[in-house]
Amino acid sequence: MNTGREATGNTETATIYHNPKCSTSRKALQRLRDEGVEPTIVKYVDEPYTREQLEKLFADAGVTVRQAARKREALYKELDLDAASDEKLLDEMVAHPILVERPFVVTDKGTRLARPLDKLDEIL
């Protein structure tokens, strides 16, 4: 999985963990491009996370496993993840990347879960 690259026309490097079906993820990608940053795009549904990648993203973004979970996702409820340990939740996030909130954005200045989108201001 890519971790970032030199952006075209800008010295900033960035990676977005992107789901093109998500409007917030699409808006975050557009915001990066509007700032002159052409990020590495990781379509995490096609290129699933490893446990280590998720642990690093969450730690770097300052979010917990629970804060990074899509609790409104039907699968979250089906798997009864409210009652699960954080370890079990993380296992399920690796197995089912749709359970991970999006988008995570990594730049030279830090990592953020870009929800709300103005979180990007902290790392651009």
User: Which residues belong to the active site?
Assistant: 22
Nearest to 56 by CA among 68, 46, 45: 68
Nearest to 92 by CA among 112, 109, 69: 69
Cα–Cα distances in angstroms (integers) from residue 61 to residues 34, 49, 53, 77, 122, in the given order: 22, 16, 12, 25, 11
Q: Is the peptide bond prior to 48 cis by the omega test (within 30 degrees of 0)?
A: no
Whole-angstrom Cα distance, residue 16 to residue 1?
A: 12
